[in-house]
A = this chain, B = another copy of it.
């Protein structure tokens, strides 16, 4: 393998240390197990079409099982002179004979790499979607618990309106459920196999890409071989979806930071805050800052990947298949970490009802309701009422009082102290997706149904992948 006939020497060691690792230690966990899985399916298929013999196929299965049983450790210290795949093939050739390279008939590293990416993505994809499902369930649970917990709604860092804690939870969950949809919508791409696309031209051999696809748990074989090896848009779509999910997480974390902040509307338990090494009084909600940093990083990984692909030819490219693609792994780690941390915070936070009540009382959050009531009562048009109430608020602020209900001199409003109280407004804002418990419950019912549909789809995906593994094993067993 030093001399390929066309190229006399192996890669320069300085270059090799940059583009490959020195050996297969890392590849043994990231890549090689997928080569083995692919080779099992390939061997079954090649035997079926008569391109390899039954006995040889059996030898392949035995050696692959042996390797897997030992965690591919006998490969770990092999040098990767021409990359991981050829080192793996070299090993097979040395153990089960030169014919091992016949497994490469009708394929190439190009379609293998594109297929390995999808096989390797399955677990992190499930983890990511599963973590998001869990977060959504925590938020929905909190909403059910806090349907009646009156809580301020802020705009521009000021208390704006009375609302409820549940109302906020459903808002967060609603946005995040769109992120879950966006992750799940790419699943057909994850289920399209690339094996058989070869270098990018398919093959003249009578191979059965449908069969290898099915044995590997995919739903469809490659439809166009160039697209099959050239494209990694799956990675971009997952990164974009994760970046937007991260955008929502950063905003929700910011909202929590403001709640936990000086007004103390929400509290975090000791095991979720950090001490200061220097200041004895601090209880820092520092996990929320980690969430924001990790969520923002995903944007960078998306940019790294899409820039890495920019202006490359539409064919198999190292800049696309290797360099741009690598950013998906730290991105998924980052977004999972971010979701897990915020889920922990939500699971264990306490709502400071009294602080919330106090803030609502002192912030004129019923001002809009007053202007609205004055208008509906016919006393003033809305803009005039708005400005009138504005004057009252200014006057009250100057006098140091925190209510303007006393200013309300209308005989057309009965019991304004009750009807204009923040908690009453929060409980009766029914229209437009408002905070009234029945409105929040309706939204929540719909949302939970969506979430469970997503959960079912995710289970269905996992089941499909699991069943394929069993089918593959049965096919192998039938060789005995």
Quick one: given A290-B319, A323-B289, A387-B5, are A254 and B314 in contact (CB under 8 Å)?
yes
Q: Report how many copies the assembly holds.
A: 4
Quick one: given A223-B443, A433-B222, are A299 and B307 in contact (CB under 8 Å)?
yes
A231→B245 CA distance, assembly (Å): 12
Task: Name the one of B178, B199, B324 contacting A160, with C-beta atoms under 8 angstroms.
Answer: B199
A270→B341 CA distance, assembly (Å): 40
Quick one: given A262-B158, A278-B199, are A93 and B383 in contact (CB under 8 Å)?
yes
CB within 8 Å of B: which A12-54 residues: 12, 14-15, 18-19, 51
Q: Do B162 and A201 touch (CB < 8 A)? A: yes
A221→B431 CA distance, assembly (Å): 10
Q: Do A433 and B197 touch (CB < 8 A)? A: yes
Q: Do A429 and B204 touch (CB < 8 A)? A: yes
A156→B110 CA distance, assembly (Å): 12
Q: Do B307 and A260 touch (CB < 8 A)? A: no
A346 at the interface (CB under 8 A from B): no
- Give A163-203 as 1s and 0s: 1 = Cβ < 8 Å from B's Cβ atoms: 10001101110110011001001000100000111111111
Q: Do A175 and B314 touch (CB < 8 A)? A: yes
CB within 8 Å of B: which A136-159 residues: 153-159
A371→B275 CA distance, assembly (Å): 14
CB within 8 Å of B: which A241-297 residues: 241, 243-244, 247-248, 250-255, 257-258, 260-263, 270-287, 289-290, 292-297
Q: How large is the interface on A (under 10, 10 to 19, 20 to 34, 35 or more residues)?
A: 35 or more
A442→B198 CA distance, assembly (Å): 18
A301→B14 CA distance, assembly (Å): 24
A248→B251 CA distance, assembly (Å): 19
Q: Do A375 and B102 touch (CB < 8 A)? A: yes
Quick one: given A296-B323, A383-B101, A434-B225, are A9 and B157 in contact (CB under 8 Å)?
no
CB within 8 Å of B: which A435-472 residues: 435-436, 439-440, 442-443, 446-447
A206→B439 CA distance, assembly (Å): 13
A67 at the interface (CB under 8 A from B): no
Q: Do B279 and A160 touch (CB < 8 A)? A: yes
Q: Do B251 and A312 touch (CB < 8 A)? A: yes
Quote the shortest CB–CB distance from A42 to chain B (angstroms): 12
Quick one: given A6-B393, A270-B8, A276-B199, are A309 and B247 in contact (CB under 8 Å)?
yes
Quote the shortest CB–CB distance from A359 to chain B (angstroms): 8
Across the interface, name the chain B residue whose C-beta is closest to A177.
B227
A350 at the interface (CB under 8 A from B): no
Of the listed stretches A57-65, A118-126, A232-240, name the one at the interface; the rest are far from the partner chain: A232-240
Across the interface, name the chain B residue whose C-beta is closest to A252.
B314
A207 at the interface (CB under 8 A from B): yes
A11 at the interface (CB under 8 A from B): yes
A-B contact pairs, 11 of them (CB 8 A): A12-B344, A175-B233, A197-B432, A198-B278, A202-B430, A207-B431, A255-B313, A293-B322, A298-B304, A301-B304, A310-B310
